[in-house]
Amino acid sequence: MHMVRSQLVDAFTGSLVVVAGGTQDFLCVDLVQSDFFTFDIQQFYRRHHDNQIETYGMSLRDVYFMEFGEDFQGNQVHSAEKDATATIKIFVKAYVRRNLNSATRNDPHHFEIFDNAVKF
């Protein structure tokens, strides 16, 4: 475990780590997410709670379906590899393109509401 943790620290230090949630992923290898420069897609892709005031992050599956029209998980068991691939595809092919010319792209608190997105 120490060797894996050390390799992850080396890989993450000075890099942008793109996650969907991610807190538990970091904790399972005894790392703290806030110690690294991370971008959590669930902080950008949000929808309203039923009270129409508070928002919450959309699931990786819902975001992927909204952006690409495909259910990458389907009714089958999904793997960490599939989730990681979907996360990076969302970041590169959807989030970056959506915000390429946005005046808010340097605002870490910027997010958008997607209440009409399909919810699985």
Q: In the structure, what pLDDT confidence band is assigned to residue 112 with cuts at 50, 70 and 90?
A: low
Within a domain: 106: yes
Q: Which segment, 8-12, 99-103, 107-111, 115-119, is predicted with the most confidence on average?
A: 8-12
59 located within any domain = yes
pLDDT score of 7: 95
Residue 109 located in a structural domain: yes
C-beta contacts of 34-38 below 8 A and 24+ residues apart? 36/12
Query: What CATH number corresponds to the domain at position 101?
Result: 3.30.420.10
> What average pLDDT does range 44-66 have in this prediction?
89
Take residue 81 and report the two structure tokens written for it: 């590899």
Q: What is residue 119's predicted lDDT score, i.e. its pLDDT?
A: 63
| CB 90 within 8 Å of CB 41 | yes
Residue 120 maps to a domain:
no
Q: How far apart are CA 99 and CA 115, in angstroms?
A: 19
**Residue 118 included in any domain:** no
Tell me phi and psi for residue 117, to 5 degrees.
-70, 145
Confidence of residue 52 (pLDDT cuts 50, 70, 90): confident
Domain around 22: 2-113
Q: Tell whether the model's pLDDT for residue 15 goes beyond 70.
A: yes
Q: How many domains does the chain have?
A: 1
Q: What's the pLDDT at 1?
A: 83
